[in-house]
Amino acid sequence: MFWWQSLADFLLFKEPQEPPTEFVAGAEDRQQQRQERTEKQDQKAGRDEVQPDEVRPAAQKAARDAETRETVFEMEASLSNDLDQNKKVLENVFRTDINDDPIIRVFTIGTDNPVRAMLVFYDGLSNKTIQNFAILQPLMLLSGLREDDPKRKNQTDQKTNKKQAEKSPKGNSEYFDRVKDALLPGNQVQTVTTYKEVAAAVLSGDSVLLVDGSDRALSIETKAWPNRGVQRPEVESVVRGPQEAFTEQIRINIALVRKIIRKASLITEFIKVGDMTETQCAIMYLDDVVNPAIVSEVKRRLKSIKADYVQESGLLENFIEDKHYGMAPQVLATERPDRVAANIMEGQVAIFVNGNPYVMIVPMTFFGLIQSSEDAYVRWPFGSLLRLVRWFGLGLALFLPALYIAVTTYHQEFIPTDLLLAMTGAREKVPFPTIIEVLLMEVSFELIREAGIRMPGVVGTTLGIIGALILGQAAVAANIVSPILIVIVAVTAIGGFTVPAYGLGLSVRMQRFIYILLAAVMGLFGIVVGIFLHVAFLVNLRSFGVPYMAPVAPTTGSSPDYFLRGPVWRQERRPDYLDPLRGRRQPRISRGWWRMRRKGGGGS
């Protein structure tokens, strides 16, 4: 259906309209809404006078708390000087009365002039060891040691300090700076000033230190989310090449790429995406290679997203892709750090999403989706062969059942007579027309495939038996389908598995049915019509401003690495369609040992 909608858009020369952006309405509207809501609540409360009196104070308190929370977040209220006031607000924010995860630890900093402080963190998200030995211990036990140092003592006069704190409206900000600069040995410490920031830091696993008398707080890096280690890639496995895959931890993922590209110009920019729960995303690119327009477009799209839940790269893909009816994936999701590194080196941008082992690469072209990192890791003739096999597999997956229908029911003169008679003989007892037969088998196969992914692993063997035996043999024996069709469906399925990008594989699965229907209605002519529309659609598509079928349509310069795989020493240029800052990847003669026999003979 989406295919057709986009087709229709294309035919009407219309860009699909973006949905109205309800979320960018001004804050005034929101305030007004809230006012209306509270008014309604009041009216409601007025009506509910029959309720027992003892419930009323609790309800009133809850309403008040909720309002405070809203104020704290929406107005981005600043922290208070008063530790007790801060504690009260934060207890309210984290609902400590009913929520057991947030911990608010009040203690005293053991300087000469003890000051009360408070550490806020979420149990389980943060690292206990760091908290105990790098925050609490230095502050409570070791902070006094520095005071004995005569040099330090001259610098700080505690009494004046305290007096200043009482006088100054900023509170004892010098003391706060001292805690930050001299007393806390944490490796990453940030100053935060609002309750909202405190909450965000605590929720991401950091510990926040609030000091009495200061309206600033310290967010100390203590993240310790449970996470999986680096494992082998499960979807994009290769024979020759690195066997590492991304994990759910964005920091680890970034480190995996940085491990490959050790360049100071490799930039990681963190971007918070989303509205209700902020998802931590990062984009990664080579500052001296990438086209700045692509980076700013990626950032613009990511920052503009206002949504409830984009915790997954697949969800994010939905938000940033160009054509949402599109049947072709416009970003590449990969779990291989080496692939991300190679694409970044070409001038593309990688988008990391925290909590997801798939990293998206944009802009992506059709030819990029057909490639596998293994193509580059084997010698080039074999890399080209692998790619040819994959193109052939793609063709089979897309067209084979449709061609079978078209040829057997419209153009029988195509078939060698003996094969035709064999097929006819095999079909004699099958009661269904070919199209029903094909749909039956294709749907069964889709069922098997879907079941194979969803079913619990422990019952996996059952599926194999059912699939192979029931559908393969028994269906033929029961004269439901002809044996040649089993071959067709099997070859189609195998062809589909050669498509390396999962998103592209899914779209091929769906488009196959469109071609089947076209072939059933109009034979080969229908398939040709389908191909015409399909190609028109693909050529019309863009991924972050880059034509989807580049470098073929439009024809742009490129290294020999799109349809087939050329030798790596001939990959001299970055893709022209990305318009990178540095077009040349390696000099014309990249093999220094190569002795040129005649002028211009270096490349052959």
Partner 1 sequence: MRRGPEKRALLVVTVLLLAGVLTGCWSYGEPDEIAWVQAIGLDKGEQNRITVTFVVAVPKAIAGGGGGQPAQGGEGGAGTFQPISFEAETLLGARELLNSVMDRRVNLSHTRWIVFGRELAEEGISRYLAPLIRFREFRHSTTVIVAQGRAAELLEKGQPVLEDSASKYYDLMARGWRYTEFIPFTPFHLFYSKAKSPGYGGGIAALAALEKKEPVFPNASAKPKGVYYAGHLPRKGGGKIELIGAAVFKKGRMVGVLNGSEVGAMKMLSGTFRQTVVDVADPRSPQDFVIVEIHPRQPPQIDVSLRDDGTAEISAGVSLEGDVISIQSGVEYDNPENIHLAESLIERDLKRKMEKTVTKSQEMEVDIFGFGDHVKKKFATWPAWMEYNWPERFPDAVIRVRVDFKIRRIGLVHESFPVRG
Question: Which stretches of the chain bind partner 1, using CB under 8 A?
Answer: 1, 4-5, 7-9, 11-12, 14, 16-17, 408-410, 412-413, 417-418, 420-428, 430, 433-434, 517-518, 520-523, 526
| Residue 352, beta-bridge partner list | 282
**At its nearest, how many Å lie between partner 1 and the CB of residue 531?**
15
**At its nearest, how many Å lie between partner 1 and the CB of residue 473?**
17
Structural contact between residues 185 and 58, judged by C-beta atoms closer than 8 angstroms: no
Dist. CA 67–CA 600, nearest whole Å: 77
Dist. CA 35–CA 32, nearest whole Å: 5
Q: Would you say 315 or 514 has its CB closer to partner 1?
A: 514
**At its nearest, how many Å lie between partner 1 and the CB of residue 424?**
4
CB atoms within 10 A of CB 187: 9
Q: Would you say 3 or 445 has its CB closer to partner 1?
A: 3
Q: Would you say 506 or 522 has its CB closer to partner 1?
A: 522
DSSP string, 32-56: HHHHHHHHHHHHHHHHGGGS-TTHH
E strand or H helix at 122: strand 115-122
**At its nearest, how many Å lie between partner 1 and the CB of residue 331?**
24
Dist. CA 407–CA 524, nearest whole Å: 7
Q: Would you say 417 or 461 has its CB closer to partner 1?
A: 417
Q: CA dist 136 to 122, 201, 365, Å?
A: 16, 18, 53
Q: Which of 572, 449, 568, 446 is nearest to 516 (CA)?
A: 446
**At its nearest, how many Å lie between partner 1 and the CB of residue 523?**
7
**At its nearest, how many Å lie between partner 1 and the CB of residue 9?**
6
Q: Would you say 382 or 432 has its CB closer to partner 1?
A: 432
Dist. CA 83–CA 120, nearest whole Å: 12
Q: Would you say 1 or 459 has its CB closer to partner 1?
A: 1
Which residue type sits at 587?
P
CB atoms within 10 A of CB 69: 17
Q: Would you say 225 or 432 has its CB closer to partner 1?
A: 432
DSSP string, 187-203: SSEEEE-BHHHHHHHHH
Residue with tokens 């929406």: 74
Structural contact between residues 441 and 434, judged by C-beta atoms closer than 8 angstroms: no
| Total residues belonging to the chain | 604
The vertex-557 CA angle with 555 and 558, nearest 5°, equals: 110
**At its nearest, how many Å lie between partner 1 and the CB of residue 300?**
24
Structural contact between residues 577 and 547, judged by C-beta atoms closer than 8 angstroms: yes
**At its nearest, how many Å lie between partner 1 and the CB of residue 405?**
10
Burial degree of 465 (CB within 10 A; 0-12, 13-18, 19+): exposed
Task: Write out the two tokens for 521.
Answer: 């209605």
Structural contact between residues 262 and 399, judged by C-beta atoms closer than 8 angstroms: no
Q: Would you say 293 or 421 has its CB closer to partner 1?
A: 421
**At its nearest, how many Å lie between partner 1 and the CB of residue 408?**
5
Q: Would you say 3 or 366 has its CB closer to partner 1?
A: 3
E strand or H helix at 159: helix 158-167
Q: Which of 548, 531, 530, 551 is nearest to 539 (CA)?
A: 548
**At its nearest, how many Å lie between partner 1 and the CB of residue 168?**
59
Dist. CA 481–CA 438, nearest whole Å: 8
Q: Would you say 218 or 400 has its CB closer to partner 1?
A: 400
**At its nearest, how many Å lie between partner 1 and the CB of residue 319?**
20
Q: Which of 202, 250, 203, 224 is nearest to 355 (CA)?
A: 250
**At its nearest, how many Å lie between partner 1 and the CB of residue 548?**
20
Dist. CA 591–CA 603, nearest whole Å: 10
**At its nearest, how many Å lie between partner 1 and the CB of residue 532?**
13
Q: Would you say 83 or 423 has its CB closer to partner 1?
A: 423
**At its nearest, how many Å lie between partner 1 and the CB of residue 488?**
14
Dist. CA 301–CA 298, nearest whole Å: 5
- DSSP-derived letter for residue 521 is H
Q: Which of 285, 303, 304, 305 is nearest to 295 (CA)?
A: 285
Q: Would you say 506 or 533 has its CB closer to partner 1?
A: 533
Q: Would you say 81 or 511 has its CB closer to partner 1?
A: 511
Q: Would you say 2 or 270 has its CB closer to partner 1?
A: 2
